[in-house]
Chain A
């Protein structure tokens, strides 16, 4: 039971970040590595805010905005300085490492176990019915993740969202529509990294702890969730890709947990396992694609 709720909790948190990776990787076709820096950015900011006594729910929009700003910088480096997409992400990711340490007050880890969080505060303790209390974390996360998904679905249906999808699909058309395609990319990167930082902030609130290395492998996790989700539900046309990504994230977390539960593999092997499973997913989805072509 605890394993299951652990999978659901982490899967839902990382799903928010994966929604961001869905924007950059799937919609914009932009390999954005800055999420490895913006996820801990959200965590650092949240830790700093909570330690200073800010209301925990305020840390959520603050994390999103900080991530959006960092994503905007990645976009500006790529568009205005004409740096290649991969490098712009690496530059921002690397510089954020120091920024995150500064935000956390020059500490590599910052616990705030005694502080109220969105998961543990007087309101939850009094208002939530007793039988639901053990599931409080999962319930809250489900609500937040669903809200993020609905917001993103709504955005992708707006004029601005149409343009974002067009930019990844055919950027010549964006120019034909008399729009600066660089600006569209910057908007997309901002939203994506906003989601990544929001996820990081929520993750920190759940752990009541900030660790500077928490972001390592974020991109891998996001990619794996997006590819797993969209590949699994490719034939379900009625299912929105955002839903597929969330399910993908939970399934991926389950895969990782399953492998880790093998006695030979230690918890310290986590990142290795994460990466190898991504490799496996990439390999399988590619061979499925090839087989499809041969039959066609």
Chain B
């Protein structure tokens, strides 16, 4: 369970450019929820994820995961229980290391990075099996450097790597935005499969309204640091792309676009 309470976030505080993004923003995400977040640029979607992960500090309020207060916890410590996939496919893998080495790195998360061999040979079978679920043939290219893979292949690996060790939360930050439509579809199907198999609580920011409607069991629409739409259960499953599009248009008119 993730609880954001009375969050305030200012940008350029104390200058003429001061901008208030969140003011008294609260959000609760329950166990096993798969939340799709949509919204226009600058509505605070990515800032929301950055606040949860600790990539940017917040000015007031508190963040709790599973009842524990993590407001002041440094970013890297929070990642122990969070898996994150970025928009940029190269953020989730090491380009100069091989597929096998990348898998071994991800597998060591949460354990001590000591002087034992980096790759546990007895785990190679498991890595191959995991890679084969991607259906990209990567299991036969273990000694290939990740840097030569395509964006889609890297993103698939990033998804696999971020969910390999037990985590409580999966954060997807427009993770299909940089991919071509076909690859985006594949990655999204894969995401749905992994989330369902591992029962992960997930927050997915996306600009693809169809993905937002088709996947997940809760839908949030953000606008100027507030949630202007929050649908769960039946209400969510009944939603169509057109409904969201209409909302988008309404917002745009309001903003004078």
The reply to whether A178 and B79 form a contact with Cβ atoms under 8 Å apart is yes
Please measure, in the bound complex, the distance between the C-alpha atom of A180 and the C-alpha atom of B116, giving whole angstroms: 19
The reply to whether A158 and B97 form a contact with Cβ atoms under 8 Å apart is no
Please measure, in the bound complex, the distance between the C-alpha atom of A181 and the C-alpha atom of B55, giving whole angstroms: 14
Pick the residue among B75, B86, B114, B117 that contacts A157 (CB under 8 A). B117
The reply to whether B162 and A176 form a contact with Cβ atoms under 8 Å apart is yes
Please measure, in the bound complex, the distance between the C-alpha atom of A91 and the C-alpha atom of B94, giving whole angstroms: 31
The reply to whether B91 and A172 form a contact with Cβ atoms under 8 Å apart is yes
Chain A's nearest CB lies how many Å from the CB of B163?
Answer: 11
For chain B, give the interface size range: 20 to 34
CB under 8 Å from chain A, chain B span 87-111 = 90-97, 101, 104-106, 108-110
Please measure, in the bound complex, the distance between the C-alpha atom of A172 and the C-alpha atom of B55, giving whole angstroms: 10
B80 contact set on A, CB distance < 8 A: 178
Pick the residue among A158, A165, A173 that contacts B92 (CB under 8 A). A173
The reply to whether B114 and A159 form a contact with Cβ atoms under 8 Å apart is yes
The reply to whether A173 and B115 form a contact with Cβ atoms under 8 Å apart is no
Please measure, in the bound complex, the distance between the C-alpha atom of A161 and the C-alpha atom of B91, giving whole angstroms: 20
The reply to whether B115 and A160 form a contact with Cβ atoms under 8 Å apart is yes
Contact with A along B58-83 (1 / 0, CB 8 A): 00000000000000001111011001
Q: Residue B223 at the A interface, CB < 8 A? A: no
Pick the residue among A157, A170, A179, A181 that contacts B91 (CB under 8 A). A170
The reply to whether A159 and B109 form a contact with Cβ atoms under 8 Å apart is no
The reply to whether B113 and A163 form a contact with Cβ atoms under 8 Å apart is yes
The reply to whether A158 and B79 form a contact with Cβ atoms under 8 Å apart is no
Label chain A's interface by main secondary structure.
helix
The reply to whether B84 and A176 form a contact with Cβ atoms under 8 Å apart is yes
Label chain B's interface by main secondary structure.
loop
The reply to whether A170 and B95 form a contact with Cβ atoms under 8 Å apart is yes
Chain A's nearest CB lies how many Å from the CB of B251?
Answer: 32
A162 contact set on B, CB distance < 8 A: 97, 101, 104-105, 108, 113, 118
The reply to whether B105 and A177 form a contact with Cβ atoms under 8 Å apart is yes
The reply to whether B95 and A176 form a contact with Cβ atoms under 8 Å apart is no
Instruction: Give B54's nearest chain A residue, CB to CB.
Output: A175
Pick the residue among A158, A165, A174 that contacts B115 (CB under 8 A). A158
The reply to whether A161 and B118 form a contact with Cβ atoms under 8 Å apart is yes
Please measure, in the bound complex, the distance between the C-alpha atom of A165 and the C-alpha atom of B93, giving whole angstroms: 12
Residue of A160, A170, A181 with most partner-chain B CB within 10 A: A170
Pick the residue among B83, B92, B108 that contacts A159 (CB under 8 A). B108
The reply to whether A177 and B109 form a contact with Cβ atoms under 8 Å apart is yes
Please measure, in the bound complex, the distance between the C-alpha atom of A169 and the C-alpha atom of B114, giving whole angstroms: 19
A169 contact set on B, CB distance < 8 A: 94-97
Please measure, in the bound complex, the distance between the C-alpha atom of A166 and the C-alpha atom of B90, giving whole angstroms: 12
CB under 8 Å from chain A, chain B span 109-155 = 109-110, 112-119
A158 contact set on B, CB distance < 8 A: 114-118
Chain A's nearest CB lies how many Å from the CB of B101?
Answer: 6
Chain A's nearest CB lies how many Å from the CB of B193?
Answer: 21
A155 contact set on B, CB distance < 8 A: 115
Instruction: Give A159's nearest chain B residue, CB to CB.
Output: B113
Instruction: Give B162's nearest chain A residue, CB to CB.
Output: A176
Instruction: Give A157's nearest chain B residue, CB to CB.
Output: B118
The reply to whether A159 and B118 form a contact with Cβ atoms under 8 Å apart is yes
Please measure, in the bound complex, the distance between the C-alpha atom of A72 and the C-alpha atom of B109, giving whole angstroms: 24
B109 contact set on A, CB distance < 8 A: 176-178
A170 contact set on B, CB distance < 8 A: 90-91, 93-95
Instruction: Give B86's nearest chain A residue, CB to CB.
Output: A172
Chain B's nearest CB lies how many Å from the CB of A178?
Answer: 4
Please measure, in the bound complex, the distance between the C-alpha atom of A174 and the C-alpha atom of B75, giving whole angstroms: 11
Chain A's nearest CB lies how many Å from the CB of B13?
Answer: 20
The reply to whether B79 and A177 form a contact with Cβ atoms under 8 Å apart is yes
The reply to whether B114 and A176 form a contact with Cβ atoms under 8 Å apart is no
A181 contact set on B, CB distance < 8 A: 76
Would A178 and B118 be within 8 Å (CB), given that A162-B97, A162-B104, A170-B93 are in contact?
no
A173 contact set on B, CB distance < 8 A: 91-94, 105
Please measure, in the bound complex, the distance between the C-alpha atom of A163 and the C-alpha atom of B118, giving whole angstroms: 9
Name 20 interchain pairs, CB-CB below 8 A, sorted by A: A158-B116, A159-B112, A159-B115, A159-B116, A160-B113, A165-B96, A172-B91, A173-B91, A173-B92, A173-B94, A173-B105, A174-B76, A175-B75, A176-B79, A176-B83, A176-B84, A176-B109, A177-B105, A178-B109, A178-B110
The 4 A-B residue pairs whose C-beta atoms are closest, nearest first, are: A162-B118, A178-B80, A169-B94, A178-B79
6 more A-B contacts (CB under 8 A) besides A159-B117, A162-B105?
A162-B101, A172-B91, A177-B106, A177-B108, A178-B79, A178-B109
- Interface set of B (CB-CB < 8 Å, partner A): 74-77, 79-80, 83-84, 86, 90-97, 101, 104-106, 108-110, 112-119, 162
- Interface set of A (CB-CB < 8 Å, partner B): 155, 157-163, 165-166, 169-170, 172-181
